[in-house]
Amino acid sequence: MTSIYDLVEEWLRLDEEESTRAEIQQLWNEGNTEELERRLRKRIAFGTAGLRASMQAGFSRLNSLTVIQTSQGLAAYLLGNDSETRTRGVVIGRDARHNSLMFARLAAAAFIAKGVKVWWLQDLVHTPLVPFAVNKLKAIAGVMITASHNPANDNGYKVYWSNGSQIIPPHDQGIARAIDENLEPLSWDLSVVHSEDPLMVEYCLDQVRDSYYDAVVHVALSHAVPPRKSTKFVYTPMHGVGLPFMSEPVSRLGLERDMIVVQKQASPDPDFPTVKFPNPEEKGALDLAIETANANFTDLIIATDPDADRLAIAEQVHGRWRQLTGNQLGILFASHVLETYPADKDLGKLAMLASTVSSRMLSIMAAREGFRFQETLTGFKWLGNAAQDLTKRGYNAVFAYEEAIGYMFSSVVFDKDGIAAAAVFLTALQRWQQGGLTPWTKLQQLYEKYGYFEDANTYLLSPSPDVTNAVFADIRALGGSSHPRKLNGRRILWWRDLTEGYDSSTDDNRPILPVDKSSQMISCEVEGDVRFTVRGSGTEPKIKLYIEGRAESAKAAKTAADSVLKDLLEEWFRPENYGLRLA
């Protein structure tokens, strides 16, 4: 095994960034071999989500060196897969996080050093603009420097394939191998993006931004008439880049006078000073927005996360603020798409998608109404690619969603897009209001038709991936064979294990969805009309639990979901035994 001394020497040899060299040198001078092991022993893993990690020195962290190495590997992989890579080029964008500009410039330098053209988005952009630009410019790939809604010290490297969707296997493994083969930095030149040679660097923001706005407004109006009624709403970009990208479609829809911006969160700030976590789903994240809404006598809040690819909605109902869950908003969008679908089109060719951790309600709606529903694995890499596959097969795959407040309107991008979703929501709101409905009352109308669905979602913080793997191994062993048969007396009616590759509902017991032995995911249905999925997070040290009950009332559905959550914690996950911490 390579000694820690040799790893330190290798880092100091390769790294030309003064601050990160100093970090490693100081740890060595202090004799802190434990921390050096954490930083240097394992290389940051490249997966279908690209890279995401804290910004520190070390091969296992995100920093200038690992960004260069990743970019060189990606370039090599692309060159080996398509003869037009050099001329089609790679789109590069970045958000307002610490070091995003530097990382984007270093990525550009790496691609140019490999002879690959760079399409440079020269200002702060939101994440969906990168896949939009990939399709608009017919680029070979796209890179977005962002960590979405992660804490301030994190950053990430998100990769899009030539189809404008996030990469899926086997590309992730191929890129990872190529990174390992291209570790010697070829360039640290931050100035290359200022090249006057359009064959190597072309500024493209103006080419794609207006086209993006056109696409957003078009999808909003394709499902509804232009807004007629003034409805004030509060908008917060959560210290991110969303405001200019939100403002233009709102203006084109004639609603610019209705938008009230949370001023303390309006401008990009990589420290996210007013929120503990810059995620609209987190408790307290919308406090300033609620304060602003109350001061301006409006009952509606729209929020995007820092890179504006996720959307949150909160509404005041009977004097109490209610934030719609990702599932609730997804169902509202789906109903809006269905109700505005052209009467002269074959409803059987309409397709909508959701991931396996999202509500069953969309599948039940599809079965009742006659459109196509497709389930995918977790993540928009799967949703986007599956939607494109359905499109090739003649379906009109217009909408997909995931419970983590992500919504995709495929005529804009095959990825989640908080701005496009907000524009569609604002036009849907007008249509609901014309029928005397609010989002909340429209949702109750849908529950009355399809059944009430309530969730009990949460997560457990895990000390390490090894602990997570041990927890899931012990769960499987509870049944004495392939899986447990009961959960606190409730019979398990269906068991699907996408880690081990088992599905009790298929004729051959093989899952339809892809199996991945490197990640933990189990889905079940138990007596009492409750389904749940438990999985290890691919980007965070978490075990996530998604539990949904269905019943004839909201109270009964919620009681069923909460009861199953309680049993899972007591019988399967036992936090005190494994050192897990409940959120």
CATH code at position 268: 3.40.120.10
Cβ within 8 Å of residue 186, ≥6 positions away:
68, 72, 110, 113, 114
- 408 and 266 in a common domain: yes
Is-catalytic flag, 148? yes
- The residues near 472 (Cβ < 8 Å, ≥ 6 apart) are 499, 520, 522, 536
Same domain, residue pair 72 and 111: yes
Examine the domain organization and report whether 199 and 217 are in the same domain.
no
Same-domain pairing of 275 and 171: no
Predicted model pTM: 0.95
b/e per residue 214-234 (b: at least 16 CB within 10 A) = ebbbebbbebbeebeeeeebb
User: Are residues 286 and 199 located together in one domain of the fold?
Assistant: no
Judged against a pLDDT cut of 90, whether residue 48 lies above it is answered with no
Same-domain status, 284 and 351: yes
Domain limit, last residue, from 160, 184, 203: 203
CA distance 528 to 548: 11
376 shares a domain with 273? yes
Find the angle CA(106)-CA(108)-CA(109) to the nearest 5 degrees.
65
Would you say residue 336 lies in a domain? Answer: yes
**Which one of 175, 203, 231 terminates a domain?**
203
Residues 420 and 474 placed together within one structural domain of the fold:
no
State whether 194 and 226 are in the same domain: no
Domain boundary among 450, 480, 508: 450
Q: Structural domain tally of the chain?
A: 3
Question: Mean pLDDT across the stretch 118-147?
Answer: 98
- pLDDT at position 228, please? 73
In terms of domains, do 514 and 393 share one?
A: no
Domain membership flag for residue 5: no
Q: Is 366 among the domain residues?
A: yes
Considering the domain boundaries, does residue 521 fall inside one? yes
Which one of 60, 71, 100, 148 is the catalytic residue? 148
Residues 397 and 495 in one domain: no
**Looking at residues 278-286, what average pLDDT do you find?**
95
SS3 sequence of 171-214: HHHHHHHHHHCCCCCCCCCHHHHHCCCCCCEEECHHHHHHHHHH
Dihedral of CA atoms 274, 278, 283, 287 in degrees, nearest 10, equals 40
Domain that holds residue 199: 62-203
Residue 539 clears pLDDT 70, i.e. is over it: no
Band the pLDDT of 9: cuts 50, 70, 90. Answer: very high
Residue 305 lies in a domain: yes
**Per-residue pLDDT tens for 69-126?**
999 999 999 999 999 999 999 999 999 999 999 999 999 999 999 999 999 999 999 9
**CA–CA gap between residue 219 and residue 25 (Å, rounded):** 53
Residue 18 within any structural domain of the chain:
no
pLDDT in tens, 205-253: 999 999 999 999 999 998 777 667 778 999 999 999 999 999 999 999 9
CB 383 within 8 A of CB 393: no
26-41 per-position pLDDT tens digit: 999 999 999 999 999 9
Q: How far apart are CA 311 and CA 185, in angstroms?
A: 38
Residues 511 and 415 in one domain: no
